[in-house]
Amino acid sequence: MQKAATVLENKKLEIIDIWVEKVREALPASVQTPDPVLRDHLPLLLDDIGNILKRFENFEFSSELSNFDGMLDTSLGHGRHRSTSSGYDVEQVLKEYIILHKVITKELRKANVYSEDVADVLKYIIENSMLYGIVAFVNSLREVQQKLTGVLAHDIRNPASAAYLGIGMIKQDDPPERFEKIKEMTRKSLKRSLGLIEELLESVKVEAGEGITFHFSERELAKYIKSVADDASEIYPNKIILNCKEDEILGVFDTAMIRRILENIINNAVKYGERGTPVTISVEDQQEKVIINIHNQGNPIAHEDQKEIFQFLKTTNGSGPREIKSWGMGLTLVNSVARAHGGSLHLKSNKKEGTTFSIVLDKTANEPGKKKTSLNFS
């Protein structure tokens, strides 16, 4: 088996190139996958196979799985990685391993180092890699569904609360203009709630690498930001301050998604910020970009948490007097919306200045129409 391990080591790059070619011929999902993404964990897996062949000259199927920790970790990583690659399903992940098995076997036969013992070890390794890879793939998709559903359910609360509050504000002796204003606010809030409920129903069908559908169109953004600030002023006890000098901000946006992420950050600013202090929304309209800053006073986000707060599927436990827990997916969603608009999300948080989230949006990054996001937000 030492000779087989040496052949794998010497021919690793050749095996990878052949495997990539075969996979692209056989798997539809691989066509749109860049080479570095497609190869991802393959070099590590080949190294793991070679190391195992070197260690088990007299291989027995009763060998403890702990002897294969490296290989199992690589397979788990591969499965998680494929769950964020668009178009992959269980069948295609399995086929990747089957193709790898065939390519390795062929190369070992050509080098006259393929024996019954080598075949047993190779079969055992590939089968366990398939098992652990698929477990990780399925679990990652399930976790995506749970997180996405949780975030959507959470986001429904904002417009639903606004509608509930609006109904409670109506009085019999209200003047017609106040009644119409409250009615319109309630109608819009209920409409947003219905849209989020439809998205919630769609989220249970999420597949590998898929996220939320964006609907881009040419829009005037300033009025939507003002509407979010007005609604927040009605809902929250904190004073909501809007600094926006522009009457018009023209560009190609998904205004429903922008509204949603602004509501998300404002909600967090109220919950995590110092009680009774204002939340400030500042808008900078630049030539090609729009920058929306949302600031609150209060205890800053810990420096170590700032490094992880945007990580995909990251869930953090709350700290401080109110012990608030947070879905990591919430800020991942905000980050995703910014990226889908050709922009970015930034955080600055310290004790002296408080916490500011800055959303950068590119006005011309998209053409009008539908666009599906990726859930790979690393």
For residue 237, which amino acid is it?
P
pTM of the model: 0.55
Phi, psi of 368 (to 5 degrees): -55, 140
Q: Give me the DSSP letters along 106-131.
A: HHHHHTT---HHHHHHHHHHHHHHHH
> Can you name the CATH fold of 2-143?
Globin-like (1.10.490)
At 230, list the tokens: 């007005």
- d(CA 117, CA 108) in angstroms, rounded, equals 13
- 176-203 vs 255-272: helix crossing angle, rounded to 10: 100
Local confidence pLDDT in tens for the 378 residues of the chain: 788 889 889 999 999 999 999 999 998 888 878 888 888 888 888 888 888 888 766 555 445 545 566 777 888 888 888 877 777 888 888 999 999 999 999 999 999 999 888 888 888 888 888 988 898 888 887 777 776 676 666 677 777 777 777 777 777 777 888 788 777 778 777 877 777 776 655 555 555 555 677 889 999 999 999 988 988 887 788 899 999 988 899 999 999 889 888 988 998 888 888 888 999 999 999 989 999 999 999 888 877 777 666 654 444 444 443 333 343 446 777 888 898 999 999 999 988 899 999 999 999 999 999 887 654 444
* H-state helical runs in 111-254: 116-169, 176-203, 222-235
Q: Tokens 């006005």 — which residue?
A: 363
Domain coordinates of the chain in residue numbers?
Answer: 2-143, 211-372
**End-to-end alpha carbon distance in the chain:** 39
* CATH class of the region 211-372: alpha beta
At 70, list the tokens: 């490296």
Burial class (CB in 10 A: 0-12, 13-18, 19+), 109: exposed
